[in-house]
Amino acid sequence: MNFSLWLRTAVAFLVVNRRTTFILCFLISVAIGTLVFIISLANGISDIMITNSTGMYSGQISGGNLPSRISPEDLKKPFVTAVLQRFRLPATLIRQDRERPLDLVAIYPDQEKAHSFFYKKVIAGRFLLKGQKEILLNLETAERIGSQPGDTIIGQIGDHQYELKVAGIFQTGVDSLDRALAFCPVFEGLILPETWQAAIFLKAGTDLSSAMREFSRSGLKMDGLKPWTQSMPDLTQLLELNDICVNILVFIVLGVVSLGCAGSFAIFVVSRIKEYGVLRAMGVTGLETGILICLQVVLMNVIASAVGVLAGMLAVWSVGRAGIDLSVWTSHNRYFAATALIFPRLSIGAAGIPPAVLLGFCFIAAAWPVWLVASQKTCDIISKG
Amino acid sequence: MIQLKNLSKIYARGKAAVTVLSDVSFSVKNGNLALILGKSGSGKTTLLNCIGGLDLPQKGSVNCFGIRVDKLSGRKRNNFRRKQLGFVFQSGNLITSLSARRNIEFPLILNKYASAQIQDRVAFLLNRLDLEDVADAMPSSLSRGQAQRVAFARGVAHGPGLLLADEPTASLDTRTGLELIRLMHALSKEEKITMIVATHDKEIIPFADLILHLSDGRIKGENE
C-alpha cells in the first residue's frame, strides 16, 4: 500500500474543498477548545475544593493518636511544607451554671496561622495568641454557655481546672469543627496527653500516594496517618462526581459534534462520489478508498484538534491570570469556605481527552461515508454520480 | 486479444427484468481500435463495464489477454484494472483536487513505478498531448478538450493493454473531438494499446479497425 499517495491525495482533497474543510475544522476546534477550557475549569474547581477542605484544618495528610516518641520534625520530609502539632483534650467548659462537654484542642497559634485557613473563620473577637491562657469557642458552644469574647470560663480537663479567657468565636461551616471542638494555645501549665494529632501540609504538586508511601517507608510505625481521600470520603465522592459529569459532557458534546461532522462529511463525500468511483475504476481497492476517506477525516480532526487545544490553552492562560470568583454562589458551601477564586488548571487529561475522544468518534464518523462508497457498485457510482 | 462470447446482462428493475446485453460475441485483435456504435440506451456503457470488470455478466465470458475477467475475484479484478486497463469517461472525470500532472501520475504511483520513470512518462505524455502549458492547472481551469486529453493521458500512463473509452468526444465540439481521437489513435498505435470506444459519434469511424453496431443489447452488424 502506497500510504504517501493516499496521504497526499487526502490533503489535496481537503485543500481543494477548503471552504467545507474550514467550516468543519472550525466546528471541531470550537468544540475542542471549549472542552479543554471546561475540563481545566473543572480541575480548578476540584483543586479549590481540595485546598479549602484540607487547608482549613486537616492538611492533606492527618495523623491521629501519634505517640510522643514521634516528633513533628520526624514527619518533615522534603515534600512537606508544615506539620502542625495538636493535642486533643476531652474537656468540659463551665460558665456559671452552664456546662458543655467537648474536645479542647491545644494548638500552636502562630503555626496554625501560617499554614491553615482556620484563623480566617473567626466571626467574633480574635484568633488565639501564642502561650496565652485563652480559648476560641465554636458558635454553638458559645451560645449554649452564653459566652462572649472577653468572658472568662472554666475548662475542666481531667482533674485539672483552668481559667480561660474567651478570645473569640469561630464558625467554619464544617460540622465536625463547628459542633464539638474548641481551641486553646499550648500554654505553660497545661498538662498535655501522651498522644498528639498531626496536620501535614504538602508542597504543591506532591502526589498523595507517593507521600503516603514515603511515610510508610520511614519506619516510624505510624498507623494513624490518613490521606485526605480517606479522611474526607464526601469530598472524594464529590470530586469523582465532578469528573464523571465532565466526562459525560465531553462524550455528549463530542458525540453531537461528530454526528454533525459525519453528516457534513457524508454530504462532502456524496457530492464527489463520482471521483471515488473513478478511483475504483482505476483499480483502487475498497480498503484504499476507505483509507483515503478516513485519512481526510483524521487529518481534519488532527488539525482542528491542535487548533482547538491551543485555543483552549490560551483561554485557560488568560482566565487563569485573574481567576474566576464564584464566591456569590458558594458562600454557604463548606467546600469553598476559605476561597472561591477558581484558577483553571490545564492537565494532560484536559488537553488530551477531548482530541483522543474525538479521534475515536471521527473513525465512527468516517464509517458512514466509507459505507456510502463501499456499498455501491463502481459502475453505479460512475453512472449515477 | 479481447474476446467476448455470448455475453448477456440482465438488470432487475422492480419485478421486471430488463435485458441490457444479449448474446454479445466479438473479438478485438491486440493494438486495434474497436468502435461500438449505438444510440443512448443500446447497452454500450454496460458492455464496457463488463469488459472492464466494473460489472459482471450473468452469462457468457470476457477474455482479455488470456484472462477470464468475469471469473476473477473482486481483488483480482481490481488488480487487473489497475495494471491492464485504462478508462476514459464521457466528461473526463478527473480527480478535481489534483492538478493535470498529478492526475496523470496517479496510476503510475498506484502501480509503484519508480519516481524517475514517473517523471519521464508524465513529461512524455504532457509533451505528446500538448498539455505542458496546463500541467499544473487544476481540472476546473481546463477546457473540455484539455480535460479529455488529460483523462486519456491518465488512462494510458501506466501502459495498459486495453483502453476503454465511453463517449470520449460527447462533450466536445466536432473539431476538438476529432483532434482528440487523432491523438488517441496515434498514441495507442505507437504503444500497441487495444482500444474499445463506445460512441455514437460517426466522425470516429475512419480510425476504427473494427466497427460493431449495438442495438437493444445485440450486435446488429460488424465491419472490419
The predicted-structure confidence for B169-185, as pLDDT tens digits, reads as follows: 888 888 898 999 999 99
Cβ neighbours of residue A63 closer than 8 Å, sequence gap 6 or more: A75, A197, A198, A199, A200, A222, A224, A225, A226
A218 CB-near residues (< 8 Å, 6+ apart)? A74, A77
Domains of chain A (ranges, CATH numbers): 3-54+235-384 (no CATH), 61-205 (2.40.40.20)
CB-based contacts of A319-322 (< 8 A; 24+ apart in sequence): A319/A37, A319/A344, A320/A44, A320/A344, A320/A345
Question: Tell me, what's the pLDDT at B34?
Answer: 93
Amino acid at A294: C
**Inter-chain residue contact A13 with B97, CB threshold 8 Å:** yes
CA–CA separation, A297 and A373 (whole Å): 15
The Cα–Cα gap between B221 and B211 comes to 8
**ipTM score:** 0.90
Least confident range from A128-137, A144-153, A354-363, B62-71: namely: A354-363
pLDDT of residue B36: 93
Residue A136: predicted pLDDT: 96
Task: Kindly report which listed range (A50-59, A308-317, B100-109) carries the lowest average pLDDT score.
Answer: A50-59
Chain B contact set for A2 (CB, 8 A): 109-110, 112
Asked if A272 lies within 8 A of B109 by C-beta distance, the reply is: no
Mean pLDDT lowest among A37-46, B54-63, B84-93, B108-117? B84-93
Interface test with A, best of B55, B76, B97 (most A CBs within 10 A): B97
A282 and B52 within 8 Å at the Cβ level: the answer is no
What's the gap in Å between the CA of B222 and the closest CA on chain A?
26
Which residue of B lies nearest to A5 if distances are taken between CA atoms?
A: B109
Residue B32 in 3-state DSSP?
coil
A123 in B contact zone (CB under 8 Å):
no
Q: What is the pLDDT of residue A112?
A: 93
The pLDDT value given to residue A201: 94
pLDDT value, residue B93: 83
Q: Cα B145 vs. chain centroid, distance in angstroms? A: 16
A287 reaches B (C-beta below 8 A): no
What's the pLDDT band for A64 if we cut at 50, 70, 90?
confident
User: How far is it, in rounded angstroms, from Cα B105 to Cα A356?
Assistant: 35
Query: What distance in Å separates residue A292's CA from the closest CA in chain B?
Result: 13
Average of per-residue pLDDT values in chain A: 89
The closest CB to that of A5, out of B82, B89, B110, belongs to B110
Q: Which residues contact A315 (CB under 8 A, 6 or more apart)?
A: A33, A36, A37, A344
Question: By the 8 A CB rule, do B72 and B123 touch?
Answer: no
The DSSP H or E segment spanning A55 is none
Residue A272 pLDDT: 81
Q: What is the pLDDT of residue A17?
A: 83
Position A138 scores a pLDDT of 94
pLDDT digits (tens, 9 = 90+) for A202-247: 998 889 999 998 888 877 666 778 899 988 888 899 999 998 998 8
Of A9, A283, A383, the CB nearest to B82: A283
Judged by CB atoms closer than 8 Å, whether chains meet at B87 and A9 is answered as: no
Per-residue pLDDT reduced to its tens digit, B183-196: 999 998 999 999 99
A9 close contact with B: CB closer than 8 A: yes
Chain-chain contact of A283 with B87 (C-beta, under 8 angstroms): no
pLDDT per residue as tens digits for the range A138-159: 999 999 999 999 999 999 998 8
Give me the percent of chain A exceeding a pLDDT of 70.
98
| CATH code 3.30.460.80 for B32-55+72-223 | no
pLDDT for B17 beyond 90: no
Contacts 24+ apart (CB under 8 A), B169-175: B169/B199, B169/B201, B169/B203, B169/B204, B170/B90, B170/B91, B170/B199, B170/B200, B170/B201, B171/B90, B171/B91, B171/B92, B171/B144, B172/B144, B172/B145, B172/B148, B174/B203
Q: Is A115 on the interface with B (CB under 8 A)?
A: no
Contact B78 A279 (CB under 8 A): no
Chain A residues in contact with B87 by the CB 8 A cut-off are 278, 281-282
